[in-house]
């Protein structure tokens, strides 16, 4: 995405965390390694940021990194995993649901190649998944919505259950909204993300607005990530319904979302993931394992932060 700043990408805290996780011995061992990073989601800003952070840290470690984008084709990830396993890379980093690429994981295991998740999901064949705590992020934004609308009204949810880090966010938000008997989930929408997600989210929100024309008929939009939230915002503004006070929340706090939140309109809150921290921590975790360390946990969480108009410009 062009024309955006790298505020979220450049967090010093994430870099400090990532650097602290690597030892001198593992860094030395890792030099010269060949690493494959495979994802179908490189069109998403968050994925772009932590892949770039991984590449930056890998360069410091002296690695050769091959980033493979299957452009939304999850099935193609399997064949690419099989390809790089046959080529004898030293490690594979995935950004995809492990449950959907089992044959690729089997190929890596057979070739004795360690696999790591970078905002992926858990699987016994994956050494570690480095990610944000999706449960906590979804709880924070869904509770924000529930409080802002006074525990009553109709809410539109944008979800993506095909990807574990996003699926858990929807599950948590579902639970929070069900805990408020006067909140009704009007629609649970899965947008097409092949173009990044904004355009289709806008189109789907436009249809929902048209079906619910009365002011106050929609109290909030909860989105599992920022792209649908931005699409919903565009639809609400295009329909001239921004004055109804429809509350919008997202997750990621990408630069475009931060700008919308700072403007003080309907998009009120998101949660900033430390994309640099995820990318750098993934690289350091790979180095630790290649250096012979046995990890104590197969999930490593990188801290997050709620973003509202009070800190959107930080």
pLDDT at residue number 164:
84
Of 45-49, 245-249, 301-305, the one with minimum mean pLDDT is 45-49
pLDDT at residue number 30:
52
pLDDT tens, position by position, 50-74: 999 999 999 999 999 999 999 999 9
Q: Where are the domains of the chain?
A: 12-131+274-302, 134-273
| Average pLDDT value for residue range 10-26 | 39
pLDDT at residue number 31:
65
Helix, strand, coil percent content, the chain, rounded in steps of 5 = 45, 20, 35
Residue 82 has which token pair?
């099989």
pLDDT at residue number 8:
39
Confidence tier at 196 by pLDDT (50, 70, 90):
confident
Residue 135 has which token pair?
């449960």
pLDDT at residue number 121:
86
CA–CA separation, 88 and 90 (whole Å): 6
Helix 102-110 vs helix 74-87: crossing angle, to nearest 10: 10
Select the more confidently predicted residue: 44 or 199. Answer: 199
Question: Please, what sign has the CA dihedral across residues 200, 201, 206, 209?
Answer: positive
Is the pLDDT confidence value at 26 over 60? no
| Average pLDDT value for residue range 168-173 | 97
pLDDT tens, position by position, 101-123: 999 999 999 999 999 999 998 89
Is the pLDDT confidence value at 205 over 50? yes
pLDDT at residue number 19:
41
The correct CATH number of 134-273 out of 1.20.1250.20, 3.40.50.1220, 3.40.50.2300, 2.40.10.170 is 3.40.50.2300
What are the φ/ψ torsions at residue 313 (nearest 5 degrees)?
Answer: -90, 0
Name the fold adopted by 12-131+274-302.
Answer: Rossmann fold (3.40.50)
Of 6-10, 105-109, 296-300, the one with minimum mean pLDDT is 6-10
Select the more confidently predicted residue: 280 or 31. Answer: 280
Is the pLDDT confidence value at 190 over 50? yes
The DSSP bridge partners found for residue 129 are 117, 299
How far lies 85's CA from each of 113, 165, 285, in Å? 7, 25, 20
pLDDT tens, position by position, 243-287: 999 999 999 999 999 999 999 999 999 999 999 999 999 999 999
134-273 shares the fold of 12-131+274-302: yes
Mean pLDDT of the chain: 90
């Amino acid at each position: 995405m062009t024309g955006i700043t790298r505020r979220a990408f450049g967090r010093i805290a994430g870099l400090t965390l990532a650097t602290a996780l690597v030892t001198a011995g593992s860094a030395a061992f890792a030099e010269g390694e060949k690493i494959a990073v495979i994802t179908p989601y490189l069109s998403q800003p968050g994925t772009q940021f932590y892949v770039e952070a991984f590449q930056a840290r890998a360069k410091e470690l002296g690695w050769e990194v091959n980033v493979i984008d299957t452009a939304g084709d999850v099935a193609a990830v399997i064949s690419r995993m099989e390809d790089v396993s046959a080529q004898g890379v030293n490690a594979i980093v995935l950004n995809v649901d492990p449950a959907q690429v089992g044959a690729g994981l089997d190929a890596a295991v057979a070739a004795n190649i360690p696999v790591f998740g970078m905002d992926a999901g858990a699987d016994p064949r994956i050494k570690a998944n480095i990610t944000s705590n999706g449960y906590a992020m979804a709880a924070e934004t869904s509770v924000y919505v529930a409080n802002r609308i006074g525990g009553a009204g109709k809410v539109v949810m944008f979800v993506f259950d095909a990807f574990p880090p996003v699926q858990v966010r929807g599950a948590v938000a579902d639970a929070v909204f069900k805990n408020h008997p006067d909140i009704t989930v009007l629609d649970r929408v899965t947008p097409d993300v092949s173009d990044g997600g904004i355009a289709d989210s806008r189109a789907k929100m436009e249809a929902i607005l048209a079906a619910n024309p009365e002011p106050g008929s929609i109290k909030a939009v909860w989105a599992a990530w920022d792209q649908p939230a931005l699409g919903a915002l565009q639809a609400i503004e295009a329909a001239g319904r921004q004055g109804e006070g429809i509350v919008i929340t997202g997750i990621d706090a990408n630069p475009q979302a931060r700008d919308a939140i700072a403007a003080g309109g309907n998009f009120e809150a998101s949660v900033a993931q430390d994309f640099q921290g995820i990318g750098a921590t993934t690289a350091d975790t790979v180095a630790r394992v290649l250096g012979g360390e046995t990890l104590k946990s197969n999930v490593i969480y990188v801290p997050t932060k709620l973003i509202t108009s009070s800190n959107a410009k930080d």
